């Protein structure tokens, strides 16, 4: 799965074309999903993973995201609230995602 959304219940929603088209297909705008707490995830081969979210993750989302940080990527890019940070370590990225970094 190269692109997907993680909703506020921690469930993954596969994206076939673009995140924006997925949002439109369910009657929303991309910005509305981000503002509602959804997490946009994109795996960019080779070894690059991108996370974009505006609201701190809840416990269910944290579990879903943590499973993605298991040394599958050389770099993890986290965009939270308009700030972009790159990480080479999954644990350090997870601390940032949870607000402990």
pLDDT tens for the chain, 101 residues long, are 589 999 999 999 999 989 999 999 999 999 999 999 999 998 876 677 888 888 888 889 888 887 776 656 778 888 887 888 888 877 787 777 777 65
**Residue 99: what pLDDT?**
73
Would the CA dihedral through 87, 91, 92, 96 be positive or negative?
positive
Whole-model pTM: value is 0.78
- Write the CA distances from 70 to 18, 21, 29, 65, integer angstroms: 25, 29, 31, 10
**Residue 101: what pLDDT?**
57
Residues sharing a CB contact under 8 Å with residue 98, sequence separation 6 or more, in sequence order: 56, 57, 62
Going from N- to C-terminal start, the domains of the chain cover 3-97
Length of the chain: 101
């Amino acid at each position: 799965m190269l692109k997907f959304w993680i909703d506020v219940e921690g469930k993954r929603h596969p994206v076939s074309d673009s995140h924006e088209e997925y949002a439109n297909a369910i009657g929303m705008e991309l910005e509305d999903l981000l503002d509602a707490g959804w997490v946009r995830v994109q795996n960019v081969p080779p070894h690059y993973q991108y996370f974009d979210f505006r609201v701190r993750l809840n416990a269910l989302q944290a579990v879903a995201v943590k499973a993605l940080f298991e040394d599958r990527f050389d770099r993890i890019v986290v965009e939270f609230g308009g700030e972009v940070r790159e990480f080479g370590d999954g644990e350090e990225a997870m601390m940032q995602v949870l607000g402990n970094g």
